[in-house]
Structure 1
Amino acid sequence: MTDAIVVGAGHNGLVAANLLADAGWDVLVLEAVGTPGGAVRSAEVTAPGYLSDLYSSFYPLGYASPVLRRLRLDDHGLTWRHAPDVLAHLLPDDRAVLLNRDPTVTAASVERFAPGDGDRWLAAYDDWRRVSGPLLAALFSPFPPVRGAVDLLRRLGAGGALRLARTLALPVDRLAAELFAGEGAALLLAGCALHTDLAPGDVGSGVYGWLLAMLGQQVGWPVPAGGAGRITDALLARLRDRGGRVRTGTPVERVLVARGRAMGVRTAAGEALRARRAVLADVPAPALYLDLVGAARLPSRLVDDLTRFRWDGSTVKVDWALAGPVPWRNPGLRGAGTVHLGGDLAGLRAGAATLAAGGLSDDPFLLVGQLAVADPARAPAGAESLWAYSHLPFRRHWSTEDVAAQVARMEAALERHAPGFGRLVRGRHVAGPADLERGDPSLVGGAVGGGTSAAYQQLFFRPVPGLGRADTPIDRLFLAGASAHPGGGVHGGPGANAARAALARDRAVTGRWYGATVGAANRAIYR
């Protein structure tokens, strides 16, 4: 028997396990596949000497996350590398707008698109710096984020807080129009928003564009030296130093429940493992509730709500081993760690509308990563380890032919803006939606965000209308994956929130009150 069982060794599961181990708990982590890390892994999959990040890569949220900072992963070997430029957005005519960690460089780039936008960018960045500390604290705290909200109110006053709330609700195209006169700065925001499954005109898309762009300005979009897997390595090393254990190749079949309380798990091999204090699940919400717990043990209204749970879009990701740097027509892209490739504002809107209607664009929006630009050790000297991904409409199953056609569109777009790209390819690795899910079962249908980023599935609507917390209707069972608030991205928020909830439930004096309060709230919501 152990104090806590964590189902899933993705980064959120490992964050939760570390925090419980810090509190002196005996923790066992069970991972279904043969390698820990979930969507935070790296390997040589294209050609010898070329290191690729298999899923996620550049990490502004991870670098800025107060959750990961408190874990001091640098003490366990994690170091970061930055590209000369954070981001370049490439227009169809090969003009580009650059985001650089030096605000004056970014301002000069956006100024070329509209006089005065340089000063407007610097003013927007000043506004961001005023609120970034308490805003990030609120974002990564359990809902409701009382301390962060109070700090914001103290800094901004009631009127300023109301205006910030309005800003956070804006579509990104509306936010950009209110802040800037030209297309350059607007494209930086809109391209960042399209890291999610939202369209530029969707309510709430502005907060994602603003957050990622301003984090890029403030801290950059760094990569771990030696690959994304170094984040996982550091989390594992830290956990083992504190006595935590990880078992891979051990899929969990069922959460064991007795008298409304999680008692442990049963593995697919039939092994029953008991947990004295808590079970935490770094898996998607539908998998936890419907597969591991079972509808019969849940309130019928919760089961009904899950039928309306919406995934984010499917994904196709391609990695290439290139014999040399990408031969961009615009040489200004050579120093960018990330390149957004896929159009002007009208093109971004049109492409997003096509996806929303269930179609595929002939000229898809691409997120492109030049890994060796940021971390030269990712490729042989003078070469490049390149990746790109594009979104598809969500489907559980995509045919091999559909994936191949999307890859052809992606490579055609690269060839159009970087003539001779194809001649440099020395190896290629394609991961369609099924491949992504096979490597990490939490990426259902190739959806990498744990569920849509739409406003109707955020905060206390995530994963379904409820408390917006890691607690579930089953006592001492906690949701620790990206389906929980604050959602997708490599920042550790869901895992940390689940660990905090488990610790609060187990406290000798207040734990019983906490459990009774959460239980009563859940009964009121789901009755």
Structure 2
Amino acid sequence: MVTRVDVVVVGAGHNGLVSAILLARAGLDVLVVERAGVVGGATRTENPFPKVPGLRHSTGSYLLGLMPPELLAALDVRLPVLRRDPHYFLPTPDGVGSPYLLFGTDTSATRAQLAEFFSPADVAADDALQAELAALRADLAPAWLAEPLTVEETAQRYLRPALQQVFVDLVRGSVADYLARFEFRSELLVSMYAVTDGLSGLNAGPDDPGTGHNFLVHNMCRLPGADGTWMIVEGGMGTVSGTFADAARAAGARILTGTPVTAITLDSGAASGVVLADGREIAAEVVLGACDPYRLMELVPDGALPPALTERMVAARRTGTTLKLNLALRDLPRFSCLPPDAPSPFGSTIHLLPGSASLTAGGGESPMAALRAMWADVRAGRLPAEPTIEWYLHTTVDPSLADPAGHHSSALFVQSVPYELVGTTWEAALPGYVNQLVGICERYAPGTGDLIADAVPLPPPGIEEHFGITGGHIHHVDNTVSFTDRMPYFTGVDGLYAGSAGCHPAGSVIGAAGHNAARRILADLGRTV
């Protein structure tokens, strides 16, 4: 067991592994220590189903979209990504002839669906939205692999003049206000964009400030061939962390799993190493916290961090509001709204939205009113009767995940639910809520419940326990918090750095924080960057 290294990286999530690659290639002696028995943090492929043990599944993160291609080039690694086509499926709960959307590479088909089931005005609104997002994406891209500036400074340095105020208003404002600018006629379309990009992973509702930032982040897909969409990684998301771990080891870094850290030690006010759960100490010139920022703060002696940083991060702390229901399916569901000749919706993100029945013969509450009602329930500690669901099923695009019996890897990504429930517990409420979520799927695809061979739910406390993320928040720091308001790479304590999803640019599988933290460390050590 090594007792002294140049750098200890606490946490072998994808950001920590990115840092380890770059630091080791610069000639530093790097040790990565990980509490879990596997690398990857929430970026892993597991076999989570007791009843279907051979089925592989991305239990945490499930798509790759936001990782900058420049980062992959700098790391000199290749990830086997698979294009989803179509990439979005928006059904409604009724028979053939009821509205639906299948967004894919065929732009003319998408526009025809928008015009047929919604309105020509929605076609124009969507074209204008996509054009503006493409321009914002192109301008902002270089900012992700650099130290963060304030929102206003970022606008001045990176955004073309015509987009500077648009950018500031979007990042600081709500996703509902941003989408309202485009004058969509259909609230269901607005709801779809608000949910999948604006609310995903957030402890916030559609009208809350900062949800526009999350919307922008989720539209920063620039991987080759992605065309602004999210991609499937062959072999599941564990392929990402496994590829990075192999590259880190090839560069000379050592990785220890099943090795929790209980404290970060200081000497004369500077980081001096870590203490492991078994009592052993490892001395280091640099400690990099690739765990979530709140875990990092717990490991540091009280009062060591600058008070202003501690106060700001405590004020920004939120619990998670995401439930993930991992499913093993015996066969593919059938969506009642799709005609027999429709393209396959599997592989796409399937949006089951509250209020979607308002477009069918059944009628009902408007989609945006339903979103606001959902968030009111969450704030009150109640499980929403109508949460938003993103349903995905990857084995049709990536058959490498399937077991010999041909089971399908699927999951419901449910947003939003409370971390703590009023008047009950998750243990008591979860079985009934799982049945309720399956019942929602049945409205769109009757018979789905009969296809479920096994189900493994992870509510926010389950996400916290399984992946070791404080509060079960999948973004570490809520993505309503942006740029210089997130955890800084340099903590203000000599030798102590942060480099997780809680840092700039945002939470998700991006890797830029690991890259930027490593560059900051190398610069501070006087090494070649």
TM-score grouping bracket, smaller chain normalisation: 0.7 to 0.9
Aligned counterparts of 1:383 and 1:254: Cα–Cα separation in 2: 43
Residue 221, structure 1, aligned to residue 230, structure 2: yes
Residue 481, structure 1, aligned to residue 487, structure 2: no
CA shift at 1:148, angstroms?
6.9
Aligned counterparts of 2:375 and 2:100: Cα–Cα separation in 1: 21
User: 1:40-439 alignment to 2 at 5 Å?
Assistant: 40-46=43-49, 47-62=52-67, 64=68, 66-74=70-78, 78-91=79-92, 95-112=99-116, 113-144=118-149, 152-153=158-159, 156-157=160-161, 159-183=162-186, 184-192=188-196, 193-197=198-202, 198-213=204-219, 215=221, 218-276=227-285, 278-289=286-297, 291-331=298-338, 334-343=345-354, 344-379=367-402, 383-390=407-414, 391-395=416-420, 398-439=425-466
CA shift at 1:484, angstroms?
1.8
Q: Structure 2 counterpart of 1:285, which letter?
A: P
Q: Is the 8 A contact 1:82 1:222 kept in 2?
A: yes
Q: Structure 2 counterpart of 1:404, which letter?
A: P
CA shift at 1:359, angstroms?
2.1
Residue 31, structure 1, aligned to residue 34, structure 2: yes
CA shift at 1:298, angstroms?
3.1
Tell me the alpha carbon deviations over residues 283-341 of structure 1, each in whole angstroms, 9 at most, x when there is no partner: 2222212x211213234444444442322424322222212112222235724521121
Distance 1:350 1:95, change over 3 A: farther
Q: Secondary structure at the match of 2:324?
A: strand
Q: Which residue in the other structure is 1:514 paired with? A: none
CA shift at 1:122, angstroms?
2.6
Q: Structure 2 counterpart of 1:126, which letter?
A: A
Aligned counterparts of 1:180 and 1:329: Cα–Cα separation in 2: 30
Aligned counterparts of 1:131 and 1:432: Cα–Cα separation in 2: 34
Q: Which residue in the other structure is 2:511 paired with? A: 492
CA shift at 1:185, angstroms?
3.7
Distance 1:91 1:136, change over 3 A: farther
Q: Secondary structure at the match of 1:61?
A: coil
Q: Structure 2 counterpart of 1:356, which letter?
A: R
Q: Which residue in the other structure is 1:521 paired with? A: none
Aligned counterparts of 2:141 and 2:164: Cα–Cα separation in 1: 15
Aligned counterparts of 2:120 and 2:406: Cα–Cα separation in 1: 38
User: 1:463-474 alignment to 2 at 5 Å?
Assistant: 463=487, 469-474=488-493
What percentage of residue pairs aligned between the two structures are identical?
A: 28
Q: Secondary structure at the match of 1:263?
A: strand
Aligned counterparts of 1:471 and 1:84: Cα–Cα separation in 2: 41
Gaps of 5+ in 2: 355-366
Aligned counterparts of 1:246 and 1:352: Cα–Cα separation in 2: 41
Q: Secondary structure at the match of 2:479?
A: coil
Choose from 1, 7, 10 the match for 2:10: 7
Tell me the alpha carbon deviations over residues 347-376 of structure 1, each in whole angstroms, 9 at most, x when there is no partner: 222212321333221121112111123323
CA shift at 1:383, angstroms?
4.7
Q: Secondary structure at the match of 2:134?
A: helix
Distance 1:305 1:148, change over 3 A: closer
Q: Is the 8 A contact 1:40 1:231 kept in 2?
A: yes
Aligned counterparts of 1:121 and 1:258: Cα–Cα separation in 2: 57
CA shift at 1:408, angstroms?
2.1
Q: Structure 1 counterpart of 2:303, which letter?
A: A
Aligned counterparts of 1:134 and 1:23: Cα–Cα separation in 2: 30
Tell me the alpha carbon deviations over residues 28-47 of structure 1, each in whole angstroms, 9 at most, x when there is no partner: 10001111110011122221
Aligned counterparts of 1:221 and 1:487: Cα–Cα separation in 2: 16
Aligned counterparts of 1:173 and 1:147: Cα–Cα separation in 2: 24
Distance 1:408 1:475, change over 3 A: same
CA shift at 1:210, angstroms?
4.7
Tell me the alpha carbon deviations over residues 155-200 of structure 1, each in whole angstroms, 9 at most, x when there is no partner: x22x432233223334222222211322254233212212132311
Distance 1:101 1:172, change over 3 A: farther
Q: Is the 8 A contact 1:33 1:251 kept in 2?
A: yes
Q: Is the 8 A contact 1:189 1:210 kept in 2?
A: no
Q: Is the 8 A contact 1:324 1:424 kept in 2?
A: yes
Distance 1:285 1:7, change over 3 A: same
Distance 1:82 1:43, change over 3 A: same
Distance 1:340 1:176, change over 3 A: same
Q: Structure 1 counterpart of 2:419, which letter?
A: F
Q: Is the 8 A contact 2:86 2:347 kept in 1?
A: yes
Gaps of 5+ in 1: 464-468, 512-527
Q: Is the 8 A contact 1:284 1:450 kept in 2?
A: yes
Aligned counterparts of 1:147 and 1:163: Cα–Cα separation in 2: 14
Q: Structure 1 counterpart of 2:430, which letter?
A: V
Tell me the alpha carbon deviations over residues 58-116 of structure 1, each in whole angstroms, 9 at most, x when there is no partner: 12113x45434432321xxx301122211123345563333324444433333331213
TM-score of the superposed pair, with normalisation by structure 1: 0.86
TM-score of the superposed pair, with normalisation by structure 2: 0.86
Tell me the alpha carbon deviations over residues 367-388 of structure 1, each in whole angstroms, 9 at most, x when there is no partner: 2111123323322586522101
Q: Structure 1 counterpart of 2:48, which letter?
A: V
Q: Structure 2 counterpart of 1:171, which letter?
A: S
CA shift at 1:434, angstroms?
3.6
Distance 1:86 1:235, change over 3 A: same
Q: Is the 8 A contact 2:104 2:110 kept in 1?
A: yes
Distance 1:109 1:444, change over 3 A: farther
Q: Secondary structure at the match of 2:170?
A: helix
